[in-house]
Amino acid sequence: MSNMLIVHGGGPTVVINASLYGAIMEAKKNEEIEAIYGALGGTAGFLNEDFVDFNKEPQEKIELLKTTPATAIGTSRTPLYEKEYKQMVEILKKHDIKYVLFNGGNGTMDACGNLAKVAKEHDIKVMGIPKTIDNDLAVTDHSPGFGSMAKYIATAVSEVAQDVRAMPIHVSIVEAMGRNVGWITAASALARKNNDDAPHMILLPEVPFKEEEFLAKVEELYNRLGGVVVVASEGLKDEQGKPIVPPIFKTERATYFGDVGSYLAELVIKKLGIKARSEKPGIVGRASATLQSSVDRFEAIEAGREAVRAALAGNTGMMVGIDRVSNEPYECKYTLIPIEKVMMDEKVMPKEFIHENGIDVTDSFIRYCKPLIGEDIPDYAYFERNKEVSKKI
């Protein structure tokens, strides 16, 4: 008999608990595993030996994990070095933990790989479960967490668009999460149903921001449509690769920048004399259990199950990956990816997903992204105005 430990790392998603649920339920099926521990507070909880045993928790609470946002066992961004990994091994041996699952993004997969190297000689199996709203984990087709965030941003932009279209007198800038990659920003394109539907511009961090071109396009759209909706990544950079807004605070591990949305809205007001405002869903989006994608939830659960199966089969230093088999009908299979191919490697939007005009996405991206959000974005009623009359209002 031996035990299993599950650790969450980095920013949470709306389906990270679904992966936790999958791992717990799969582990419960195996008689070899006695205790199924969860580290309370991520790697910090791991190092402090603050564990919960899920076998001692009521099943009704375990079932709630499937639709609980954030992470029920907490997370952290604790810096880890060689001494911490050695300490972790000693803690694992102390608690007779033979299997460890790390659920997280790039930084967490780095920790997963480093611990796997140190733990290997002690016959401790370490596996990774993919998680990120940013969809920037390498090799895997997509990551659990992204589908729900994509559904949220597309739904939010679609709803904002109805408001802007009802009173077409201003420019609305919606700032999307994703500091270095534009997957979430790009997903806003799923809000469109017809020509001239919002978003009217999609600004990705993979495309250098050019102020004059941006203002000229906003003015052209405003003169033609009245109301304009722009979705901009929080990580927009200029032609020199520098963030378009300066940093406002720095720590040893992170730099915090001002709001891109506010900056762009102010730019429109000052340079064009057009009313503008910004919206920033932020954590509201990644914590929206209401808009959780059913596909995302299912895949998150399966990723947790696959990680347990792989560990029990003797695998270590691997991350569960998702391979797309078919788009229509949508079908995926689960694979194992050597953790070295994933550690601290960001997957940016490929060129074939970015429109040649630099302010939109391609049909290829729409076909890629649409199956991940599960249920389609709702249709709304709208009655077309007489454009000549509207201009006089």
HSE of 82 in the Cβ direction (CA atoms, 13 Å)? Answer: 0
Catalytic positions are 134
Bond into 58 cis (ω within 30): no
Question: Please, are residues 189 and 360 in contact by the beta-carbon 8 Å criterion?
Answer: yes
Read off the tokens for 141.
């087709």
Give the distance, in angstroms, between the CA of residue 1 and the centroid of all CA atoms in the same chain.
36
HSE of 72 in the Cβ direction (CA atoms, 13 Å)? Answer: 21
Burial of 119 (0-12, 13-18, 19+ CB in 10 A): buried
d(CA 141, CA 218): 34
Pairing outcome for strands 255-257 and 247-250: antiparallel
What are φ and ψ of residue 9, in 5° steps?
-135, 150
d(CA 308, CA 109): 16
